[in-house]
Amino acid sequence: MKSIKVTILGKQYPLKVEDSEEEAMRRIAQYVDDKFRQYKKELNKQPDTTVMTLAALSIAEELFEERKRNRELDKQGDEVLQNVNKSLEEFIEEIKS
């Protein structure tokens, strides 16, 4: 494990990550910081906790949408594979005949 520090809204947070995960975690922290800053700019009169909560909800919404898209793609992939298998089975039956 490796100790790193990431900065979100000007505050440093220490994290322990696997060496192989350091760059990904830094990118994630940067994404979160960017999203928080975007919301802070738009909601400049709101307290940080409100800004962070709304930004976190937005990030969670993005995650859920991506998961839904992935499920739909998996379903489409399964359908394509089923069609290919069916076509192969039909082709093999033709060859046998």
- Per residue in 41-56, pLDDT (tens digit) is 999 999 999 999 999 9
Phi, psi of 33 (to 5 degrees): -60, -45
Annotated domain spans of the chain: 2-96
* pLDDT-derived band at 60, boundaries 50, 70, 90: very high
Task: Check: pTM over 0.95? Answer yes or no.
Answer: no
Mean pLDDT of the chain, nearest integer: 94
- Written in H, E and C, the secondary structure of 36-85 is HHHHHHHCCCCCHHHHHHHHHHHHHHHHHHHHHHHHHHHHHHHHHHHHHH
* pLDDT-derived band at 96, boundaries 50, 70, 90: confident
Q: Is pLDDT of 16 > 80?
A: yes
pLDDT confidence of residue 97: 75
Give the pLDDT confidence of 77-89 residue by residue, as tens digits: 999 999 999 999 9
